[in-house]
Amino acid sequence: MRVLIRADASPAIGSGHVARCLTLAQELRRQGADVAFACRRLPGHRLEALRAEGFQAFELPECYVGEHPELGIEAPLPWQADIAALQLALASQPAFDWVLVDHYGLDHQWQSAARQWAPRIAAIDDLANRKHAVDLLLDQNFSGSAQAYSGLHDASCRTLFGPHYALLREEFRRPPISIRPQARRLLVNFGGFDAAGQTHKAMLALLDFHDLQVDFVAGSGNPDWQAMQALAAERPHWRLHSYVKDFAGLLVEADLCLGAGGGTSWERAVLGVPTLCITVAANQEANARLLAEAGAHLYLGACEQVSVEQVRQALSLLLGNPELRHSLSRRARELVDGRGVQRVAAALLTAVLRLRPATVEDARLLFEGRNAEPVRRWSQQPEALEWPDHVRWLEAAVNDPQRLLLIAEIAAGAVGVLRYDRQGVQVDVSIYLFAEHLGLGWGRTLLEQGEAWLVRHWPDVQRLGARVLAENQVSLTLFRRAGYCQAPCEFTRVLKEHLDD
């Protein structure tokens, strides 16, 4: 699969769009996809960094005719000029399977025009303020919802809303921090550029916290960099970083964090780092407010409305209240599990998912997949398979004209298995995913593609049925959403496992 990502970075835009797209690109590459970027050569661009990561990066102009650079990041770009620049950059490129755009200045007009390079278009949004002409729409924020995007996309568009889909790098999938009775370490981070100057404000608020170890992360392009260097040089308990290779490692060392309301919100949440949030852009405010209402962080407000004294007082409150820090940590971890990027990658990779009939050569693959504990847990027969029995079963299954056994695959390997057992015009369906693909949304695609295969193979079939354990809420939800109607409950009571002699 080939994917083109269109995103930009600059002091005005920030680095978050390219950063989260890079996270997705790395996961897609791990799954066998070929990913390229198209970015404008704005001040603070990330073209060289993307190439250093091994991705092809097409360079677009810094400025277009008719553009007004003084406008904010949500101002529309001259989309025709952007499309024309892409036409030049991609002139000798083969087609892509997806074009993914993460840009506030590009809307449905650009998305429609981009179909000249791919049959499928995806968009990442945070604002819910413009129309989309896409096949897949992602908003990883707590504020992302079907209601917020009502009327902004076609009914056929697949939507991925909420922090369940947060694009987090693999290094953030680690145990959460422990909440200590006395907080000893603070991390301050307002993004790669911090054009709003909030890191310097935090320093001024922390001048009297002599027992607190503080890490400040801000790029050397920060407008207050020299002043911050001077303040940090006088305080041995402060460390000022212009670049951090292992940001996740720095986060897990912290007892609490002071930061903005962008994508780093989810990095802090998955690790359970109690957070004091100050938003630095209007598009962060709704999400920050909703997270505060959910008890997942403390929100002081927009940066221009927050004083140095307010920051000082709020930090004092958090430092001296381990119960509050524990509550914030627990609630934040309930929202984010760290597997969002795998779910988004799976949604894109469904475009290249292929089904094939199983053969006896698949015996080992199916044996190990079916014997995995997370798969057996919800099976009608949860006992571990024995190899000789399994081989005999598989040989019979692939030669049974009333049974259809299909394996779903992507470039990286097998995803899951479908089994159809026919009894006249009724077919019973059974599905399981290989353990590493559980919980990522693959089930829906397997059922859809399997049903299409079934109609071609057995066109006279009239009904599909499935048996699901009552406790298996994931599968119950899957089949309901796939259009299956649940029959009345069946109750069974076992009086004795074995009769006494």
Which CATH number is 416's domain given? Answer: 3.40.630.30
What per-residue confidence (pLDDT) applies to 219?
Answer: 79
Does one domain contain both 135 and 209?
no
Domain assignment present for residue 495? The answer is: no
What per-residue confidence (pLDDT) applies to 69?
Answer: 64
Does one domain contain both 411 and 475?
yes
Does one domain contain both 274 and 318?
yes
What per-residue confidence (pLDDT) applies to 499?
Answer: 46
Does one domain contain both 135 and 180?
no
Does one domain contain both 16 and 164?
yes
Does one domain contain both 78 and 143?
yes
Does one domain contain both 89 and 43?
yes
Domain assignment present for residue 213? The answer is: yes
Does one domain contain both 158 and 265?
no
Which CATH number is 177's domain given? Answer: 3.40.50.2000
Domain assignment present for residue 346? The answer is: no
**Contact between residue 4 and residue 102 where contact means Cβ atoms under 8 Å apart:** no
Does one domain contain both 423 and 399?
yes
Best CA proximity match to 107, nearest among 148, 62, 74: 74
Best CA proximity match to 78, nearest among 100, 97, 60, 63: 63
Encode pLDDT of 179-224 as tens digits.
999 999 999 999 877 888 999 999 999 999 999 999 999 977 788 8
Cα(151)–Cα(300) distance, rounded to whole angstroms? 32
Domain residue limits at 434: 353-481
Domain assignment present for residue 394? The answer is: yes
Domain assignment present for residue 486? The answer is: no
- HEC sequence for 370-406: HHCHHHHCCCCCCCCCCHHHHHHHHHHHHCCCCEEEE
Helix (H) or strand (E) holding 430: strand 426-433
Q: Is 456 helix (H, G, I), strand (E, B) or coil?
A: helix
Does one domain contain both 127 and 183?
no
Q: Which residues of the chain have pLDDT under 70?
A: 69-72, 489-501
Best CA proximity match to 23, nearest among 242, 187, 189, 171: 171
Domain assignment present for residue 490? The answer is: no
341: left (phi over 0), alpha (psi -120 to 50) or beta: alpha
Q: Which one of 335, 368, 400 terminates a domain?
A: 335
Which CATH number is 37's domain given? Answer: 3.40.50.11190
Does one domain contain both 74 and 140?
yes
CA atoms within 13 A on the CB side of 88: 8
What per-residue confidence (pLDDT) applies to 484?
Answer: 85
Q: Which one of 134, 153, 168 terminates a domain?
A: 168
Domain assignment present for residue 155? The answer is: yes
Beta partners for 123? Answer: 101, 137
What per-residue confidence (pLDDT) applies to 67?
Answer: 82
Does one domain contain both 449 and 401?
yes
Count of domains for the chain:
3
Q: Which one of 124, 142, 168 terminates a domain?
A: 168
Domain assignment present for residue 425? The answer is: yes
